[in-house]
Amino acid sequence: MDVKELNLEELQHEHPLTLVDLQLIHRDYIEYDDEYDANDLIMMQNFKCICNRCDRRIDWYHRYYYKCSMSSCTYSLHKFCEEIPPTLKFQGHPSHTLILKRTTNDKKCCACLKYHRDGICYHCSTCNYGIDLLCATFVEQNTIHHPVHPHPMISVSVEPGLNKCFACGKKHEGHFYHCTTCFKFSINFDCLSLPFKLSLQTQQFNHRHLLTLSYSLLDQPYDCECRICGVNVEDEHLIYKCSKCMYYVHPDCATQRIEPFLSDFLPGLGKTEKNFKDIDHPNLVHLPVDDESHILSRQIFEGEPWVQERDKNDLHSRHRYPLVVINNDTSTPLHDPMKRIKLLCNVCSRPITKMPFYKCPAEDDDSCDFVVHNWCTQLPIQLQNPVGHPKHKLELFDFNNITVGIKCDICGLPCNGLIYACKDCDYVIDVNCAFMPKEITHEAHANHLLTRIDGASSSRSSVSKMECRACRVSIAKSESYYRCNACDFYLHCRCALYLPKTIRHKYDKHPLQLSYSPVEDHKSRYFCEVCEEELDPGKWFYHCAECAQSIHSACAPLMLQSEQGANSLSDSEGVYKYINIKFRDVTDVLWFHRHPLSLAPGTENDGLCKECGNKLQSHLIWKCLHCNFGVHCYHHSPKVYAGDRSLMYKYEENKRIIKHRGPQTNFEFYPSEMIRPETRDWKVVDNR
């Protein structure tokens, strides 16, 4: 082999060279991904040219390369081809140092056993041992740089293998790249070639911002779920995320075509095909309603024929004064949180926002605040085949004279209005749950019919765990709930019926909308304007996009200044647990305190119970306005009707188990073929 001394100056190009970074987004890839034009990114990702020294391809994954500074010259070099050292320590020939020299093609390379082509090589004159430039730069030639991983990755084998990919957590058969620094990290060729930017625009799912491929969810304070399949995303796996919204999609969900049948198996995060005909359901209740006071009116007037007997005057006879109708009377202000006016019906505890309604006419009795909706005067005395208790009839009981409250067996919430009870069994439901429709539709799961499942008669052998989509609390076996028969979608009855579409806040001139997922153009954390605690946007909440204000759904009825601090952090989800309680003053002195007391929701400022020493916050309490006295109601509660059922009420739920981020799992890896990846098409468009 003819080997000659080589002067490095001979390799220099006649014009100055410029170092080019093909991945300008690499360093700040996660934080500033939206600052780069999409067309520029596509051009960089599709960049290809030939190195003038090794005749190998230069591409996006090399990240850096040298090009001639003259616009008319196309001379280009790999960064490592330009920066080759004059000497080399080679593992295949450890006894001597190899020297960079010029060679001809009359002998084979001692490493790859292929003939040298005219060019340069590393040579040992003592042993006549030489390797060509390609073998000397083998590692650099097969190293790639990927924006979503901070270290270079290399492929060193020609045989594909079967292994679990660290990037997606799934097993793949094929080629793998391995991190040169993180020995636990290996990524499959398919995941490696995912598009870095994605425009999600399909018939079923779309997002108006570009999505970025990322590993980083460590800055996300809440549990996140894929907006397409609804399954939680893992912070150690690849994910497409939006830099302007809390919008996340699995790569498999984002890059494959969404087939029409798939919508039948999704939990309702995107558009769904309508699976029922309106003509078959003429009395269908569409939720959420605009005004929370209208829920019961629709249930009574549009419900099923459960009524055996109606007596409109029966409710009037239950009060000590005949009730009078209020119609177009401005002297009695309606319920208005904006003006801190609270007007709640004594029968259903829902706000009275429209006329006509009935009230007590006794002007000389300031303690009587008895008011009732017009439709609540039409409640039937008996219910046949009632919700959750078809074997017995239920009768209407006046529970309003008992101040504390009793727990409803359907929604699990306490109430102190009128109730329906069974004389033969210890079964009680409030008037709101008594007329719960069998079928509903809900905006959160548009176009799919939701069917009521009564807990006592339902079979759950096929479903081990069900979680309410609104509050993310598990649904107990004995509970009644709403279910979509086509999807994995469940709602507590109270979450479906008690949350109106809009609410008003005295500090926001706009109505707040019921939101079912993190809203667009809101990347920062969410905080409730009422309780001032952090809010998880994965649970239903109220939000004003114009003012960027949010409220827990459970805090929505607590917008009056006097009720701030009523909910503890663990109670700020779902429906306000005292939504069916009408709080009031008790003018008579009770046997356990010398002053008149008020029934009130315990707040953080109320401190500790005088009886047991536990916190009063988030409990029903007896509260004295004359002295610093407060006790839990269940310490001093009367008894009611048949069965001597206790009024002691404790509201407890199995809270959602929050996922704790643990250490990353170790994966063994198999070397993969020495091939260069190519980024796939970055834009997904549904052409159907």
pLDDT, tens digit, 9 for 90 and up, residues 192-231 = 888 888 888 766 677 888 888 887 655 666 777 888 887 8
Q: Is 600 in the same domain as 621?
A: yes
Alpha-carbon distance of 215 to 656, in angstroms, equals 25
The answer to whether the CB of 540 falls within 8 A of the CB of 513 is no
Answer yes or no: is 271 within a domain.
Answer: no
In the numeric block, the tokens 């009870």 are attached to 421
Task: List pLDDT tens digits, range 50-93.
Answer: 998 888 889 988 989 999 999 899 999 999 988 888 899 988 89
The pLDDT value given to residue 608? 92
In the numeric block, the tokens 């170092």 are attached to 19
Alpha-carbon distance of 368 to 331, in angstroms, equals 16
Helix, strand, or coil here: 100? Answer: strand
Query: Does a cis peptide bond (omega within 30 degrees of 0) precede residue 356?
Result: yes
Alpha-carbon distance of 124 to 102, in angstroms, equals 12
Q: Is 396 in the same domain as 302?
A: yes
Answer yes or no: is 405 within a domain.
Answer: yes
The pLDDT value given to residue 292? 67
In the numeric block, the tokens 């003592």 are attached to 126
**Which pLDDT band, with edges at 50, 70 and 90, does 20 fall under?**
very high
Q: Is 411 in the same domain as 306?
A: yes
Mean local confidence (pLDDT), 233-253: 83
Q: Is 290 in the same domain as 417?
A: yes
Q: Is 44 in the same domain as 114?
A: yes
The answer to whether the CB of 98 falls within 8 A of the CB of 123 is yes
The answer to whether the CB of 600 falls within 8 A of the CB of 607 is no
**Which pLDDT band, with edges at 50, 70 and 90, does 683 fall under?**
low
Domain boundary among 637, 652, 677: 637
Task: List pLDDT tens digits, range 263-314.
Answer: 444 554 555 677 788 888 887 888 998 876 666 666 655 443 333 334 444 5
Task: List pLDDT tens digits, range 418-428.
Answer: 889 988 888 89
**Contacts with 407 (C-beta within 8 Å, 6 or more apart), sequence order:** 413, 414, 428, 649
Mean local confidence (pLDDT), 559-566: 74
The residue ranking higher by pLDDT, 664 or 235, is 235
Instruction: State which residues form the domain around 526.
Output: 501-571
User: Which region holds residue 340: left if phi is over 0, alpha if psi is between -120 and 50, else beta?
Assistant: left
Q: Is 305 in the same domain as 348?
A: yes
Nearest by Cα to 263 from 252, 255, 274, 254: 274
Torsion angle of alpha carbons 434, 439, 445, 446, nearest 10°? -130
Helix, strand, or coil here: 490? Answer: strand
Answer yes or no: is 45 within a domain.
Answer: yes
Residue 553 sits in a domain of what CATH number?
Answer: 3.30.60
Answer yes or no: is 576 within a domain.
Answer: no
Q: Is 373 in the same domain as 422?
A: yes
Q: Is 8 in the same domain as 129?
A: yes
Q: Is 303 in the same domain as 332?
A: yes
Q: Is 104 in the same domain as 200?
A: no
The pLDDT value given to residue 245? 84
Alpha-carbon distance of 53 to 73, in angstroms, equals 15
In the numeric block, the tokens 């990702």 are attached to 45
Answer yes or no: is 443 within a domain.
Answer: no
Q: What tokens does 296 get? A: 């019961």
Q: Is it the case that residue 563 has pLDDT exceeding 60?
A: yes
Alpha-carbon distance of 123 to 101, in angstroms, equals 7
Q: 3-state secondary structure string, 272-297?
A: CCCCCCHHHCCCCEEECCCCHHHHHH
The residue ranking higher by pLDDT, 477 or 118, is 477
Alpha-carbon distance of 515 to 554, in angstroms, equals 13
Q: Is it the case that residue 476 has pLDDT exceeding 60?
A: yes
Lowest mean pLDDT among 30-39, 528-537, 555-564: 30-39
pTM of the model: 0.76
The residue count of the chain comes to 688
Give the total number of structural domains in the chain.
Answer: 5
Task: List pLDDT tens digits, range 385-415.
Answer: 888 887 888 988 875 555 577 888 888 889 8
Q: What tokens does 144 get? A: 């790639």
Helix, strand, or coil here: 561? Answer: helix
Answer yes or no: is 265 within a domain.
Answer: no
The pLDDT value given to residue 652? 34
Mean local confidence (pLDDT), 33-57: 77
Q: What percent of the chain has pLDDT over 70?
A: 77
Amino acid letter, 581 = I
Helix, strand, or coil here: 681? Answer: coil
> In the beta sheet, which residues pair with residue 100?
122
